[in-house]
């Protein structure tokens, strides 16, 4: 089954490329996917198939985009070791290592946290997020390490998700960023949305964005670099990474928002979800957990303390 979307070319789009107009018409869909649909014959212009992304459109033309139904992945349980911080009949708290993806996606359906949790729990996880993300209440980036909560049933999932939506979850990160700070602490209150110049990135922007608030505090100064604590008030995609880059303190090792090269040859940002606190879905009791940053993070700190860049 396919669903179709229809868009009429505007006057200001006269002479623009077909793929560019489609990106403007459907900003929620990636440019690469739209180009793939053009190549596959999934785009019509005035009823005729157009398989060239460079085709120049004309005002008033009707573009029809056919979108195939997403394929359901079969997620397999895998015996991958988990760093379990807490577990009971309703939920778990896991310390995710750097380099592990949280949930499967097309082309990457093995070795994820979901694969590991499915094996550990024997399939006893919440179904709120479907077969691809069973139990996953929130997530952190592949190259961010640290604490995540996972729900074993739908009741627990809804209870924890409600706390997230109401900003009542304690989430404190530790990071190493570029440059020194003039003050000991501060707040970045700046909306985040998809970068209008690069669809693969997030950015501080007023267009199609949501409010994002990050509170930070200096923990240790090294001159060129600073170790900070970042407390999330909201939880937008890449929030800490985007906010720190926005105030000219990109994360060390961040390949997307930081310098292209770093003095440590890191493959991923120095960011760790250190503290996670919430009310338990069954008892209502507030619980808080803490996990120290991983070994690679600690080694970078040691080199900075010894002034060995």
Query: ∠125-126-128 over CA atoms, to 5°?
Result: 150
- Residues 134 and 111 sit within 8 Å (Cβ to Cβ): no
In which element (H, E) is residue 243 found?
helix 239-246
**Three-class SS of residue 20?**
helix
In which element (H, E) is residue 164 found?
helix 154-165
**Which among 90, 141, 143, 254 is annotated as catalytic?**
141
Two tokens, residue 156: 């627990």
Q: Which residues pair with 93 in a beta bridge?
A: 86, 149
Q: Is 141 a catalytic residue?
A: yes
Name the nearest CA neighbour of 296 among 99, 93, 147.
99
Q: What is the 3-state secondary structure (H, E, C) of 176-211?
A: EEECCCCCCEEEEECCEEECCCCCCCEEECCCCEEC
Give the number of other Cβ atoms within 10 Å of residue 18's Cβ: 23
Residues classed as catalytic:
141
């Amino acid at each position: 089954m396919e669903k179709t979307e229809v868009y009429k070319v505007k006057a200001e789009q006269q002479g623009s490329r077909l793929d560019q107009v489609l990106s403007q018409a459907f900003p929620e869909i990636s440019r690469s996917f739209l180009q793939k649909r053009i190549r596959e014959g999934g785009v019509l212009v005035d009823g005729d198939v157009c398989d060239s992304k460079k085709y120049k459109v004309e005002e008033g033309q009707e573009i029809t985009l056919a979108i195939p139904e997403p394929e359901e992945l079969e997620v397999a349980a895998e015996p991958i070791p988990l760093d379990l911080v807490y577990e009971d009949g309703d939920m778990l708290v896991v310390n995710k290592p750097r380099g592990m993806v949280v949930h499967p996606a097309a082309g990457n359906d093995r070795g994820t946290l979901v694969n590991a949790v499915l094996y550990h729990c024997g399939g006893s996880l919440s179904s709120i997020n479907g077969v691809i993300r069973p139990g996953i209440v929130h997530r952190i980036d592949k190259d961010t390490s640290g604490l995540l909560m996972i729900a074993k049933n739908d009741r627990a999932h809804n209870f924890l998700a409600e706390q997230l939506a109401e900003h009542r979850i304690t989430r404190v990160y530790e990071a190493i960023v570029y440059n020194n700070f003039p003050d000991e602490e501060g707040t970045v209150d700046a909306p985040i949305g998809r970068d209008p110049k690069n669809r693969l990135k997030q950015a501080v922007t007023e267009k199609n964005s949501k409010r994002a608030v990050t509170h930070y505090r200096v923990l240790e100064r090294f001159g060129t670099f600073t170790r900070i604590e970042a407390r999330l008030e909201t939880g937008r995609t890449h929030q800490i990474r985007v906010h720190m880059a926005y105030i000219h303190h990109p994360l060390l090792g961040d390949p997307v928002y930081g310098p292209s090269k770093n003095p440590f040859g890191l493959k991923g940002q120095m960011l760790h979800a250190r503290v996670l606190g919430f009310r338990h879905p069954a008892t209502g009791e507030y619980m808080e957990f803490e996990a120290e940053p991983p070994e690679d993070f600690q080694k970078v700190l040691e080199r900075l303390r010894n002034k060995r860049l």
